[in-house]
Amino acid sequence: MRLDNYLLRHLKQVPKSHVYRIVRSGEVRINRGRARPGTRLTQGDRVRIPPVRQRRRDETPRPPDALKARVQAAIIEENDDWIVFNKPSGLAVHGGSGLLFGLIEVLRAMRPGRYVELVHRLDRQTSGCLLVAKSRSALARLRAGLRARSCAKYYLALVDGAWREGARTIDVPLSRDHEQGGERVVRVDRAQGRRAVSDFQPLQTFADCTLMRVRIHTGRTHQIRVHAMHGGHAVAGDDKYASNARCTQWRRFGLGRMFLHAEHIRMPLDAAWLHCHAPLADDLEAVLARLRDRSPGHDHRHAKI
């Protein structure tokens, strides 16, 4: 068993982020030697673990008021069947991986005794359209709509480099069964990966980056990020797949996170169409404004945002 999996099994009430922190700092030892999260344990190994505080099982943590206010402010639209959120970047959709609260846990705390469930998911860094169902029947109908072939999910992504190829479909399989630096990553895997299809359409070209509208036909983990890399253009600010040097440049420019936003969902629902639209987050709008001011002479002809 991997060391990290062993520790997570025995320290269930310790945040996952803290478990990884004590391993990487050298406080966890195997046979008196330092170890990495991916180190494999064998029978007879002696594992030394520093003192850690585990949350009592009978403790019921409550989300802070500031987090509840943030979730409430993210609601775009609500009816008897569903809620549409413009999920902020940095807010996970559910708890885990060292987080006590994601959006759904906060929402349940705000509405005790009422049914709320995620219809789909977004990465923690990704902002934009997120649907939550308010009944089991609505959940089934909405998920069926998302699975329909006519469903369309559109994202806005700023990618590094000038995209010169025009509209392009990337159809390459992806697999999550890869490891890099002790953590799981997604890779193109033509042998064992699952099919993933993304349509990339350039909207605006700047000196060293391009604003894209991306439609995904499948919903694989990190699909847009890995497909963009496969096409030779990392998503701006992506600290998992892009180079560290480029992420540092973007932070200095004012982009403090990955530029990926779930802009629009269109899907069939109850013999009609459901359209959900989330305005681009203010921090991303500010980055685009700076790019336009910096390079007013560059090509902005592809399409309107």
CATH number at residue 40: 3.10.290
Tell me which residue has tokens 């902005």. Answer: 300
Q: How far is CA 39 from CA 21, 34, 88, 240, in A?
A: 15, 10, 35, 21
Q: Are residues 279 and 201 in the same domain?
A: yes
If phi > 0 it is left, if psi is from -120 to 50 it is alpha, else beta; for residue 195 that is beta
**Average pLDDT of the segment spanning 143-169:** 95
Provide the annotated active-site residues: 123
Q: Are residues 97 and 29 in the same domain?
A: no
Alpha-carbon dihedral sign for residues 12, 16, 21, 24: positive
Q: How many domains is the chain partitioned into structurally?
A: 3
Output DSSP code: residue 121. -
- pLDDT category at 15 given cuts 50, 70, 90 is confident
Please give the residue that has the higher pLDDT: either 297 or 270. 270
Residue 54 belongs to a domain: no
Q: Are residues 134 and 186 in the same domain?
A: no
- pLDDT category at 54 given cuts 50, 70, 90 is low
How many CA atoms lie less than 13 Å away from 249 in the CB half-sphere?
A: 9
In tens, the pLDDT along 19-50 reads: 888 888 889 999 988 888 889 999 999 999 98
Domain boundary among 94, 127, 147: 147
Please give the residue that has the higher pLDDT: either 193 or 58. 193
Residue 53 belongs to a domain: no
**Per-residue pLDDT at 134:** 97
Q: Are residues 14 and 141 in the same domain?
A: no
- pLDDT category at 57 given cuts 50, 70, 90 is low
Q: Are residues 168 and 301 in the same domain?
A: yes
Coil vs helix vs strand at 142: helix
Q: Are residues 103 and 219 in the same domain?
A: no
Number of residues that this document lists for the chain: 305
Two tokens, residue 287: 């980055």
- pLDDT category at 52 given cuts 50, 70, 90 is confident
Supply the range of the domain harboring residue 297.
149-305
Average pLDDT along the chain: 90
